[in-house]
Structure 1
């Protein structure tokens, strides 16, 4: 589901330009910096998902998402206030310009004109060298995961392959552990780094496409992936993501507030633990009533 939504969003964003700079809205350099570490973290996250009991994953889901959504919300409030100041300043400058023109005074240009290209072809809007490196990293990890699947659990070759995937990174661990693509963690992280909301959303979703696809493959190899359900929800997610992208894009153009993206991100992150956490708590209560085992699982057992 997450992979389908991410892929459709990337398809929509891949044609768009940066809101202020002459570059794509997807920051390929930023993606190249984070994507390898994120995918490295996915491996250990998936292993933790197998090892941890359901109630542990549920509690982690609630804690991480509630903290992340709260930080994103306050970030959105700060961005909203900043946009309000910009709007007031722009209105003041516009009123001053109108008055000066009415008096017959036309000010000279005070700086270079903005040469940013609004429309380019998709081919020009893709950084092919960076994309090639990202695909190479993705393919390398895919080969390692497939090879590891044909080794005995906890054997020497199994741990050798795992040792080739070191330098784990927090968003990847969280994404693999909770069955996400890591974008819910990277989006707020990029905002904290000062990346514009449009670029943050587009880049995080672009990275999430790679990491989510890796999570899908790993869970499929672990036989924890119901294909019919996944296909159904992927179609729903793709359609919803395309509609959402167009609707949000229209709203931003009408209102002139990119902070809407931050509020939508915060709301989505907040709703996710409420719905998923509620389901997890319901299942946990059922296991308690049936007196089922709720401790750590055996990572080395054959699946």
Structure 2
């Protein structure tokens, strides 16, 4: 099933990116997709995907199922508690804003009664408040040309194309030959080189993760190293479980202090590259039929478009970006139950048939 999931996630991520590509940051004059953040994580994420796909061939179903339940369970719990924390902050902010607005409204009404005819200034003030509130409560859209960081996008696409070419070349070489392993290892300098360039730029202050409202000018080395390793592990888990790695990146971005809307959009952006690479690798391994993959791709794409539209309306109406976090936590938790159940059922059938359930030979 993990191979078909790649097609679903690719479709969902691609439609989400198309939906978000014209939107702006909810509070800053920036795109809602943080391209510098994606540039730090995406190369190592794709490298991890390649490692994970190899491990998917090596590991048996029951091993993958146990890892899936552990990773999804811990990730969903972490996302849920982050959602609760964000909900409390939003409630506090709403109460403070309501108190300030009430005080300002009372002062304005008093001034209007003293200086202006009844109904004039007060109604104008209320209209102004509604306009300001509407502008500050949602991400507005601009042209794609203005909103995309083309240099960063070009680097991301170049990394994707190079690693894709190496994967295709590997498919036409003899399995486990010198050429096969050489093409595999050539992915490492590509991913590590780009990530190191971005990490050094962040460390020296030449770049910054601007989507954080308190963007730091210099990032400590140990933190950058941790993020790079996490991206590699997320990719490995994504490739091994047939996912895109975004299920780990989303909660990690939230822990970094990135706003929920930006975390979701940037994770989907990185996941579009990683899931598509994963899908291509599974296709090259002849592990899923094209008609089924296209069907799941189409269903996931339509579902993602509808979900984005509904979620966007709810966030605008309720003013609760934490809904994104709770939705993420629920999806991950539900995936752990459903996919874990399927994996356990499959393993039970293998036990009944006395099938081999150890490590597979990747060179066969």
Report the TM-score range of the alignment, normalised by the length of the smaller protein.
Answer: over 0.9
TM-score of the aligned structures, taking structure 1 as reference length: 0.94
Q: Tell me if 1:10 matches 2:17.
A: yes
Residue 118 of structure 1 deviates from its aligned partner by 4.0
For residues 109 and 268 of structure 2, what CA distance do their matches in structure 1 show?
48
Match of residue 186, structure 1, among 238, 241, 249? 249
* The 10-residue stretch of structure 1 (97-106 or 169-178) with the greater mean CA deviation from structure 2: 97-106
2-side partners of 1:209 and 1:241: how far apart?
13
Q: Does 1:58 align with 2:80?
A: no
Q: Which residue of 1 aligns with 2:44?
A: 37
> Residue 222 of structure 1 corresponds to which residue in structure 2?
285
Equivalent residue in structure 2 for 1:170, among 215, 233, 242:
233
Q: Which of 145, 155, 169 is matched with 1:147 structurally?
A: 169
Q: Is contact 1:49–1:176 with CA below 8 Å preserved after alignment?
A: yes
**TM-score when scaled to structure 2?**
0.78
For residues 69-218 of structure 1, the aligned pairs below 5 Å read 69-104=76-111, 118-166=140-188, 169-218=232-281
Q: Please state how far the C-alpha of 1:165 moved relative to its aligned partner.
A: 2.4
2:141 and 2:254 mapped to 1: Cα distance? Answer: 26
| Runs of 5+ consecutive residues of structure 1 not aligned to the other structure | 107-112
Match of 1:297, SS? coil
1:109 paired residue number: none
Q: Alignment RMSD, CA only?
A: 1.8
Matched residues in 2 for 1:71 and 1:268: separation? Answer: 13
Provide, for residues 57-96 of structure 1, a one-character-per-residue CA deviation record: whole Å limited to 9, x for no partner: 0000000000000000000000000000000000000111
Please list the CA deviations of residues 143-189 of structure 1 after superposition, one character each: whole Å capped at 9, or x if unmatched: 11011111111111111122222357111100100000111111111
Q: Is the 8 A contact 2:167 2:184 kept in 1?
A: no
Number of residue-to-residue matches in the alignment: 295
For 2:140 and 2:252, how far apart are their aligned partners in 1?
27
Provide structure 2 residue ranges, at least 5 long, that are not aligned to the other structure.
Answer: 1-7, 116-131, 193-228
Task: Check conservation: 1:216, 1:225, Cα contact below 8 A.
Answer: no
